[in-house]
Amino acid sequence: MAPNGQKITCIIVDDNPIARESLMMLAQQIDDLEVLNDCENAFEAYNYLQNNEVDLILLDIEMPEMTGIELTRNLNGKKNLIIFTTSNKDYAIEAFDLNVADYLVKPFSSQRFLQAIDKARDILCSKTEEVELANDEFIFVRDGNIVRRLRIDDILYAEAMGDYVKFHTSDKLFAIHTRLKSVEERLPKNKFIRIHRSYIVSLQHISTLQEGGMVINGCFLPIADSYRKNLYRMMNII
């Protein structure tokens, strides 16, 4: 279920009426997913979102006049999660640079759609509002009306996603309403290092380094060239 048992509200944006109908049918099978509107182009969606709040946008990319990627950039500052639904694989890298929740390539199965919604649900359910560094051992995050303590050593890495930063641990995910730069300033610099514009990692949890990135807890994370030299210095690589 969505946070506090509420439904996940969403809109569908696609210039193909058959695609919109298919997405509507899939969405109707999920009890906690509520479609508030379906839009046939990005301008219609943009205008709707100026006056209405939704949790999630199921968004096509290749549309006339304004693409889904252009709409995403124009919505900068809003807190909508986005799942791209497109027949073209070529936009995947650009899409994930925009920190979208998922990228579905048409035609996709109902199982793959459910996986994407599950991912969005996990992000929504784990959204917290503030992060405060207490000392070198703990940070405190505000989760609704509850303040939770999170051990610094349990954090595997932090990942930027729009207006949120996701803290990954071995068994949980915390999404904080803040910017990665703010997190970078608060985390202990002897334990964490920036490796990409979207990632800060815990040095003690790095499993392996390989061409183009590293592996932490089985997840591959990219290393940007501009951060590589400082990373190798911190790791004291011979």
**Where residue 110 falls among pLDDT bands split at 50, 70, 90?**
very high
Q: What is the mean pLDDT of residues 74-102?
A: 82
pLDDT tens digits along 198-214: 999 999 999 999 888 99
Per-chain mean pLDDT for the chain: 86
CATH 2.40.50.1020 fits 128-235, yes or no: yes
Q: What is the CATH number of domain 3-125?
A: 3.40.50.2300
Residue 104 has pLDDT above 80, yes or no: yes
Instruction: Measure Cα distances from 177 to 35, 50, 133 in Å.
Output: 25, 21, 15
pLDDT digits (tens, 9 = 90+) for 144-198: 556 677 888 999 999 998 778 889 998 888 888 788 888 888 888 889 999 999 9
146, β-bridge pairs? 143
pLDDT value at position 39?
Answer: 97
Dihedral angle of Cα 64, 70, 76, 79, to the nearest 10 degrees:
60
Integer Cα distance of 86 and 96 in angstroms: 14
Mean pLDDT computed over 57-83: 89
Residue 194 confidence (pLDDT): 95
CB atoms within 10 A of CB 181: 13
How buried is residue 98: exposed, middle or buried, by Cβ count under 10 Å (0-12/13-18/19+)? middle
Q: Are 156 and 170 in contact (CB under 8 A)?
A: yes
pTM: 0.59
Parse the chain into domains and list their residue ranges.
3-125, 128-235
